[in-house]
Amino acid sequence: MEPIPKPEKAAIAIYENLADYHEEKLGAERSKMFGMQCLRVRKKALCGLFGNDMVFKLTGDEHKQALALSGT
């Protein structure tokens, strides 16, 4: 099993800004899941930082729209 890649400072800064915003607006909590930093809302994962990549939990139309984006 390969270790989770370490994020670069720029990726951490973007994640921290996102986390600050969602803590204020949604009451999100910073946590860890599968060894990566993540945000949870009402104990459900919202997003996480995997190396320099962000992962998001999406459903419905948002999920379909995201899959249509380049790089997803």
Task: Kindly give the confidence (pLDDT) of every residue in the chain, 72 residues in length, as a single tens digit, with 9 standing for 90 and above.
Answer: 778 889 999 999 999 999 999 999 989 999 998 889 999 999 899 999 999 999 988 999 999 999 999 887
Residues 20, 71: Cα–Cα separation, whole Å:
25
- Edge-to-edge strands of the sheet including 44-50? 29-33, 36-41, 44-50, 53-56
Which pLDDT belongs to residue 27? Answer: 93
Which pLDDT belongs to residue 62? Answer: 92
**Residue 50 half-sphere exposure, CB side, CA atoms within 13 Å?**
10
Which pLDDT belongs to residue 52? Answer: 95
Phi first, then psi: give them for residue 12, nearest 5 degrees.
Answer: -65, -40
CB 55 within 8 A of CB 9: no
Which pLDDT belongs to residue 20? Answer: 96
